[in-house]
Chains A and B, each alone.
Chain A
Amino acid sequence: MKYLIISFIMLSAFPTCCNEDSVEVERILLSKEEDNLINYTKDEVVKFKHSNGFTFDVLVTNNDYSFRRSFDESCAECCGGEYKSLQERFVSLTSNYPNLTMTLSLSNNNFSYSEHKSINFSLNSYSTNLFYDNKNEFICDSLVVCHDQIKINNTNYFNVLEKKLDSRFHVNDTIDFYPQKLFYNTTKGIIQIKMSNNESYFIDN
């Protein structure tokens, strides 16, 4: 009997999962202006060229919209808690050779370490964030060079962001070759990927 009472006390000390459906209280869509920051459509083929002359096709393999549930409390998901649905967009581009996998994701959230929203860009295991403000204009600061105009592969591009890429994994000092910089604008999307040895991949108009 003593053990039964102890067991009852121990069990009552843990909260039980109420297993109730959570409730959506708000649905926040990406604004049209925000959505326009990424200008790709599914199955679109973008011509790219390597600085040594090799040309190749990059295919837009995904352009998906989804909703992510944002709960105010960590345990709310299984206990009938309230959540907001935040719209997200995920675009991926791939090429057969060189085997590049590039992704752009737009997330309508404010949980980021930054006060600003951003587009996350990744190339294989390298990535960066392009931050934008409430007017959906990209933010130029010490980490981002904003070019009013820049010539890449003999073509002039306007309002181009230049941002350094970081490795998602620990990289030791012997690594002296990596994707170093992204050049991006809202009209053309990914304009150029510059490598650390001055090789580069750029769109071929």
Chain B
Amino acid sequence: MSRILLIISFLFFLGCVKDEPIGIFSLSKEASKYKIDGEITSFKMIDNNGITDLFRQENFSLYHHEPWEGGFFESYDIAYRSIINNYYFNLRLNADDYSSTMSFTWNQNNYVYYDFKYKETDSDGFKPVISFYKSIMIRGVNYKDIIELDYSKGVDKIKDNTPLKAFISGKKGLLKIVRKDGIVLERIS
């Protein structure tokens, strides 16, 4: 009798242990659209007062990390910092055995997370509305695969240098920033 109980217990615990995923888990087709071109090492924006700022690439990496033996998860990371306004913008795309996710960090203090599979948004503070558009026209240039981060409903809950609205293109990166004080910066190069 005790042997039967032991076998049942063993089978029960065996069922609780999840198999570690083995294989290469790459970003989904949808998530891959938002890989900013890592060869863009700098770009300029100009505001509605004629003040120019330049964003220079601070970090860029694309690799498969191995959280456990035999499972490789794709990870894509790119960051820019601006020379005048000291804006810091980081986009990270991650794939695992469940889903592909995207996260943004503004000025190293506002973190936003989006899950492509479950269409869920999370953040460490006020949760912005994330919208996706096929294209947007800025200063006569048509950009594709657009992400909009909109903090409008939490204007009093975000810091002055967190964009009230931001538009990011899948390949070109940051395109437009709308600040709380009404100043708008747009991509010019």
Contacts and interface: CB of A to CB of B under 8 A. Distances in A.
Interface in B15-48: 41-42, 44
B59 to A, nearest CB: 12
Contacts of B44: 177
Given A97-B181, A97-B183, A172-B41, A54 B85 contact: no
Contacts of B51: 50, 52, 54, 98, 199
A96 B160 contact: yes
Interface in B55-98: 56, 83-87
A99 B50 contact: no
B144 interface: no
- Residue of A52, A97, A126 contacting most chain B CB atoms (<10 Å): A97
Contacts of B171: none
A124 B84 contact: yes
Q: For chain B, give the interface size range.
A: 20 to 34
B9 to A, nearest CB: 49
Contact of B83 (A54, A97, A174, A179): A179
A178 B86 contact: no
B52 A177 contact: yes
A175 interface: yes
A37 interface: no
A100 interface: yes
A86 interface: no
Contacts of B85: 97-99
B183 to A, nearest CB: 6
A99 B86 contact: yes
Given A97-B179, A101-B86, A124-B84, A174 B49 contact: no
Contacts of A125: 83
B109 interface: no
A53 B49 CA distance: 7
Contacts of A177: 44, 52, 54, 83
Interface string B153-188: 000000011000000000000000001010100000
A199 B42 contact: no
A54 B49 CA distance: 6
Nearest to B183: A97
A54 B48 CA distance: 10
B83 A99 contact: no
Given A99-B85, A124-B84, A126-B83, 6 more contacts: A50-B49, A97-B181, A98-B85, A99-B161, A171-B56, A197-B52
